[in-house]
């Protein structure tokens, strides 16, 4: 009776060939001479089936582990590096490169190497496009012995000799749903090529990786689009006003947020300064931020010398046009010649005054955010700065990104400001950078976060 054929698993053909052997006849007993050595028993159909099933389980386990590691990547660069390393282990290669070049032409375009430096990648780019060791628009490309190939492009041969690789195997990053994204190629030091099982596993893995890359690519494009829109809604440059130096730093999350800053020249050599944050994230929050900032500029031109009136008008606009949204805001009327700042805040953190002899938070009144009360109003306060001092305005995202309770976050901010090196205190941009790096160490200032961060530094001469 024939052994049952198992079902096909993960695209691997499980057909078991019929064993070509027969049972050995029983040898007669002999009374003379040594006993005959029994012939080795050929494998039974059951043993063959068990070995093959064990191979399938091993392959599936390997694919599961590699795809799990890939799925945990959340950005294009680490995903591409993971793809290269996993593919190299599957096809038995030591080096490789991946080219991301989406077929729709919208980018981004990048090339990453495994075991290849920047100069090596640049050398490979000198090979004519039609003679490259991969074809982004085609199927797999196998060069088992490059130097022995007839018709190999001379430049490709020269590059292969200089980089000391003798064979290559490439797969396109392309599926029906994801389209064409690029290609991955792995290099062998000696003439070689992956066997059928390796090709099959690599093909399964690369198809899964392509779908994952397509999702990350869409996220990257959305992020870039939101960053561009946000940047366009914020000042492209800060004004130059006698008596003060200005610097701003802005960090936004991957979905885009509603934090803003602004600096607007006003009549009589005055300056209007504002920072604020709209609740929520994503396109709607970015759009609301743009509308509020534009409205605040108009109110500042009309009645900037009265910050309370400016924020009262902004609060009325927010309640009438966006009743489901709230915002924090701070507006300051700055008179550089007098080194005086008159400000009002709505649910916003107090400014920080940084100087040689003092580092202290301004004494502002506690008030609700805009849109939270039927009618907002709070008294204004004045800050009298001295020559060389910097007033730092910031949004709450700087404090929230620390992950600390607010009292500890404020203490960390104060310590960072007090520790600004004397050599850079004359530069408001350097002051803002120091505060960012100190309050948010280990790259937290640039890491992805739902919290936007805005700093506006104003140094008085």
pLDDT tens-digit profile of 307-359? 999 999 999 999 888 888 999 999 999 999 999 999 999 988 999 999 999 99
Structure confidence at residue 38 (pLDDT): 59
Residues 141-165 have pLDDT tens digits of 999 999 899 889 999 999 999 999 9
More confident site: 384 or 53: 384
Strands 327-335 and 453-460: unpaired
Mean pLDDT over residues 269-288, rounded?
A: 90
Percent of the chain with pLDDT over 90: 63
More confident residue, 80 or 33: 80
At residue 21, the pLDDT reads 37
Q: Binning pLDDT at 50, 70 and 90, where does residue 223 land?
A: confident
Q: What is the mean pLDDT of residues 17-36?
A: 42
How many CA atoms does the CB half-sphere of 109 hold within 13 Å? 7
Q: What is the pLDDT of residue 68?
A: 94
- Average pLDDT taken over every residue of the chain: 86
Whether pTM exceeds 0.85:
no
Kindly state the average pLDDT of the residues 204-214. Answer: 95
Distance CA 351, CA 384 (A): 12
Triad 285, 330, 227: Cα angle to 5°: 35
Tokens of 56: 């399938």
Phi-psi bin for 441: left (phi > 0), alpha (psi -120 to 50), beta? beta
Q: What residue ranges define each of the domains in the chain, with the CATH number in brackets?
A: 59-227 (3.30.450.40), 234-460 (3.60.40.10)
As a whole number, mean pLDDT of residues 430-456 equals 87
Q: Which two tokens stand for residue 396?
A: 């709450």
Instruction: Return the pLDDT at 3.
Output: 43
Q: How is residue 420 annotated by DSSP?
A: -
Higher pLDDT, 182 or 138: 182
Which of 57-66, 69-78, 90-99, 396-405 has the least mean pLDDT? 57-66
Quick one: pLDDT at residue 447?
72
Report the range of poorest mean pLDDT among 42-46, 68-72, 302-306, 448-452. Answer: 42-46
Instruction: Reply yes or no on whether the pLDDT at 264 is more than 70.
Output: yes
pLDDT higher at 423 or 444: 423
For residue 116, name the pLDDT band (cuts at 50, 70, 90). Answer: very high
Q: Residue 249: what pLDDT?
A: 94
List beta partners, residue 137. none
Report the pLDDT value the prediction gives residue 24, as an integer from 0 to 100: 39
Return the pLDDT at 1.
40
| Cβ-based neighbours of 328, under 8 Å, separated by 6 or more | 276, 277, 345, 346, 347, 348, 369, 370, 395, 396
So what's the pLDDT on residue 36? 59
The alpha carbon of 405 is separated from its chain's Cα centroid by a whole number of angstroms, namely: 27
Cα 289 to Cα 278: distance, rounded to the nearest angstrom: 6
Higher pLDDT, residue 9 or 107 = 107
**pLDDT exceeds cutoff 50 at 386:** yes
Is 395's pLDDT higher than 90?
A: yes
110 forms beta bridges with 100
Measured distance CA(380)–CA(256) in Å, rounded? 31
Q: What is the largest CA-CA distance in the chain?
A: 127
Taking CA atoms, 101 is separated from 76, 129, 212, 237, 263, in Å, by 12, 13, 15, 33, 40
Counting every residue written for the chain, the total comes to 461
**Residue 30 has what pLDDT?**
41
Q: Where are the alpha helices (DSSP H) in 348-459?
A: 397-400, 406-418, 428-439
* pLDDT at position 26 over 60: no
First-last CA distance in the chain? 98
* Residue 402 neighbours by CB under 8 Å, 6+ apart: 408, 409, 412, 439, 440, 444
* Beta bridge mates, 272: 264, 333
pLDDT of residue 145: 95
The predicted model gives 113-127 an average pLDDT of 94
Q: What is the pLDDT of residue 35?
A: 55
Band of pLDDT at residue 20, cut at 50, 70 and 90: very low
pLDDT at 16: 34
Closest among 138, 195, 208, 129 to 171, alpha carbons compared: 138
């Amino acid at each position: 009776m024939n052994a049952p054929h198992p079902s096909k698993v993960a695209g691997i053909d499980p057909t078991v060939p019929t064993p070509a052997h027969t049972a050995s006849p029983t040898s007669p007993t002999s009374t003379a001479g040594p006993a005959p050595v029994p012939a080795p028993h050929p494998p039974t159909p059951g043993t063959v089936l068990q070995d093959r099933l064990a191979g399938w389980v091993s392959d599936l386990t390997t694919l599961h582990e590699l795809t799990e590691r890939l799925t945990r990547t959340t950005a294009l660069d680490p995903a591409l590096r993971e793809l290269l390393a996993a593919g190299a282990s599957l096809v038995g290669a030591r080096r490789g490169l991946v080219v991301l070049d989406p077929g729709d032409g919208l980018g981004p375009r990048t090339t990453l190497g495994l075991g290849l430096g920047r100069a090596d990648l640049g050398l490979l780019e000198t090979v004519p496009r039609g003679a490259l060791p991969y074809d982004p628009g085609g199927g797999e490309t196998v060069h088992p012995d490059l130097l022995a190939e007839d018709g190999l492009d001379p430049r490709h041969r020269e590059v292969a000799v200089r980089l000391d690789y003798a064979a290559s195997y490439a797969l396109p990053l392309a599926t029906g749903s994801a389209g064409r994204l690029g290609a991955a190629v792995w290099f062998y030091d000696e003439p070689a090529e992956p066997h059928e099982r390796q090709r099959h596993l690599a093909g399964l893995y690369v198809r899964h990786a392509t779908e994952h890359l397509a999702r990350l690519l869409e996220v990257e494009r959305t992020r870039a689009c939101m960053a561009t829109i946000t940047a366009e809604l914020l000042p492209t440059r800060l004004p130059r006003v006698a008596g003060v130096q200005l610097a701003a730093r802005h960090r936004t999350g991957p979905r885009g947020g509603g934090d803003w800053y602004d600096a607007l020249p006003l009549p009589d050599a005055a300056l209007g300064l504002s920072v604020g944050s709209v609740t929520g994230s994503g396109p709607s929050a970015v759009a609301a931020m743009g509308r509020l900032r534009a409205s605040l500029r108009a109110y500042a031109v009309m009645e900037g010398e009265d910050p309370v009136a400016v924020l009262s008008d902004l609060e009325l606009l927010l309640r009438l046009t966006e009743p489901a949204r709230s915002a924090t805001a701070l507006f300051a009327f700055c008179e550089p010649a007098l080194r005086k700042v008159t400000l009002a805040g709505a649910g916003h953190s107090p400014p920080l005054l940084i100087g040689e002899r003092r580092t202290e938070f301004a004494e502002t009144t506690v008030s609700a955010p805009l849109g939270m009360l039927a009618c907002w109003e709070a008294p204004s306060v004045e800050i009298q700065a001295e020559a060389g001092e910097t007033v730092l305005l910031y949004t709450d995202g700087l404090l929230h990104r620390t992950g600390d309770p607010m009292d500890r976050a404020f203490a960390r901010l104060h310590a960072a400001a007090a520790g600004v090196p004397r050599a850079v205190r004359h530069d408001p941009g350097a002051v803002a950078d120091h505060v960012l790096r100190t309050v948010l160490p280990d790259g937290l200032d640039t890491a992805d976060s739902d919290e936007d961060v805005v700093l506006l530094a104003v140094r008085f001469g």
